[in-house]
């Protein structure tokens, strides 16, 4: 039996004692063999030094405080999946799945309401035998202001919104990071739904477009903050506004409410000074939710007193 013994005085890899080497880690100066070499800016490092460097090195962040994790788009993908799932559940709750998917408005492109839609969409007033009475949100079902942003009137409605979410969401999640993007999306959607509750309480309102209009505004503000061109975003916003104001059956209040909310929240989050960036960003988002909550309670009082 033979043993692999290195000549006296010849350095060996600290992780593989049987391997001779004349290469040393540039950080700890221990000998390392080719299997243990990790390329560095200068020379090579051993695996332990590489791991330690990653742990202690400050990770690069965007101008808005996001890490590289946002580039993977996990939140955007999750939102798309939730919206698809909710449409499937909505259609399953309907007696006529075809009418739920398409055929009710816009030349047969947009579907109709379903039992699940009636329970989760924004609604503040109902007609009870010719008398308008509070119902839905005004009857204490405040969860509708959140759930409505995941409900859609059929397949085409869903596809348009998910296409816009896929483009806007990945860009903004990369800029702001998963946590900030998640909060921004929900606050924008909430702002649009509260506006629909304030100005069109008798209309059944739903869709991710309240949040998406907010994302348009956030992207515009973020590009301005970075001093980048907004020429690709502004025309899209204008076209969508024209579409909103001219096509019947669209929640004008919801779209405009989402746009305004996105502009205000986007400005607060994007222009937060670096020194207290996270604190100010959290404060802006919490303040927006608090204000929207007060407006909701005020409208509930108005509808209940009528």
First-to-last C-alpha distance (Å) of the chain: 98
- Average pLDDT of 248-271? 95
Instruction: Considering only residues 216 and 249, tell me which one the structure prediction assigns the higher pLDDT.
Output: 216
Least confident of 13-27, 61-75, 96-110, 157-171: 96-110
Q: Which of 103-117, 119-133, 185-199 has the lowest mean pLDDT?
A: 103-117
Q: Helix, strand, or coil here: 261?
A: helix
Residue 75: pLDDT over 90: yes
Q: Which two tokens stand for residue 131?
A: 């008398």
pLDDT confidence of 283, banded at 50, 70, 90?
A: very high
**Catalytic residue chosen out of the listed positions 44, 152, 157, 255:** 255
- Average pLDDT for 70-92: 94
Per cent of the chain over pLDDT 70 is: 93
Instruction: Tell me the DSSP string of 115-159.
Output: HHHHHHSB--EEEETTEEEE-GGGGT-TTHHHHGGG--SSHHHHH
Place 65 in a pLDDT band, splitting at 50, 70 and 90: confident
* pLDDT category of residue 214 using cuts at 50, 70 and 90: very high
Supply the mean pLDDT for the chain.
89
d(CA 23, CA 37): 9
Q: Over 90: is that where the pLDDT of 191 sits? A: yes
Greater model confidence, 132 or 96: 132
Residue 103: which pLDDT band, with cuts at 50, 70 and 90? Answer: low
What percent of the chain shows pLDDT beyond 90?
A: 65
- DSSP letter string, 18-76: TSB---B-TTT--B--GGG-EE-SSSEE-HHHHHHHHHHSPPP--TTS--GGGGG-HHH
Residue 18: pLDDT band with limits 50, 70, 90: confident
**The pair of three-digit structure tokens given for residue 216, joined into one six-digit string:** 């348009």
What is residue 90's predicted lDDT score, i.e. its pLDDT? 94
CATH architecture of residue range(s) 71-305: Up-down Bundle (1.20)
3-state secondary structure of 31: strand
Nearby residues of 211 by Cβ (< 8 Å), 6 or more positions away:
149, 165, 185, 186, 188, 189, 192, 258
Q: Are 4 and 22 in contact (CB under 8 A)?
A: no
Q: Is 44 a catalytic residue?
A: no
Of the candidate ranges 106-110, 159-163, 250-254, 285-289, the one whose mean pLDDT is the lowest: 106-110
Residue with tokens 């939140």: 75
Three-class DSSP category at 83: helix
Q: Name the pLDDT band for 109 (thresholds 50, 70, 90).
A: low
141 within 8 A of 187, measured Cβ to Cβ: no
Say how many C-beta atoms besides its own lie within 10 A of residue 273's C-beta. 8
Which has the higher per-residue pLDDT, 202 or 113? 202
Query: Binning pLDDT at 50, 70 and 90, where does residue 165 land?
Result: very high
List 90, 174, 209, 251, catalytic entry = 209
Listed range (56-65, 101-110, 174-183, 245-254) with the worst mean pLDDT: 101-110
Domain boundaries, the chain: 1-51, 71-305
CA distance 91 to 78: 20
255 included as an active-site residue: yes
Structure confidence at residue 67 (pLDDT): 80
By three-state DSSP, how is residue 52 classified? helix
**For residue range 19-37, what is the model confidence (pLDDT) as tens digits?**
888 888 988 889 999 889 8
Task: Answer yes or no: is pLDDT of 59 > 80.
Answer: no
Can you name the residues that pair with 73 across neighbouring β-strands?
Answer: none
Give the per-residue pLDDT at 130. Answer: 81
pLDDT score, position 40:
81
pLDDT over threshold 50, residue 2: no
């Amino acid at each position: 039996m033979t043993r692999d013994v290195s000549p006296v005085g010849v350095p060996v890899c600290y992780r593989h004692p049987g391997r001779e080497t004349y290469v040393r880690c540039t950080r700890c100066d221990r000998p390392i063999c080719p299997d243990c070499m990790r390329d560095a800016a200068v020379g090579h490092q051993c695996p332990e030094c590489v791991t330690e460097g990653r742990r202690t090195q400050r990770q690069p962040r965007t101008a808005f405080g996001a890490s590289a994790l946002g580039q993977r788009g996990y939140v955007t993908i999750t939102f798309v999946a939730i919206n698809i799932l909710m449409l499937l559940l909505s259609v399953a709750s309907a007696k006529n799945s075809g009418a739920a998917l398409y055929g009710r408005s816009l030349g047969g492109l947009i579907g109709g309401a379903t039992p699940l839609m009636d329970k989760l969409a924004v609604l503040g007033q109902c007609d009870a035998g010719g008398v308008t009475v509070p119902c839905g949100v005004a009857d204490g079902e405040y969860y509708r202001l959140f759930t409505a942003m995941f409900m859609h009137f059929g397949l085409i409605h869903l596809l348009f919104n998910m296409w816009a979410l896929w483009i806007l969401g990945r860009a903004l999640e990369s800029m702001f990071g998963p946590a900030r993007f998640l909060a921004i999306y929900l606050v924008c959607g909430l702002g649009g739904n509260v506006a629909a509750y304030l100005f069109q309480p008798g209309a059944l309102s739903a869709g991710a477009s309240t949040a998406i209009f907010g994302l348009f505004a956030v992207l515009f503000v973020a590009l301005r903050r970075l001093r980048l061109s907004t020429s690709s975003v502004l025309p899209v916003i204008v076209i969508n506004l024209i579409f909103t104001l001219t096509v019947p059956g669209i929640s004008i209040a919801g779209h405009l409410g989402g746009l305004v909310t996105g502009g205000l929240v986007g400005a607060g989050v994007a222009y937060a000074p670096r020194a207290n960036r996270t604190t100010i960003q959290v404060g802006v988002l919490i303040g927006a939710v608090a204000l929207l909550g007060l407006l909701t309670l005020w409208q509930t009082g108005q509808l209940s007193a009528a």
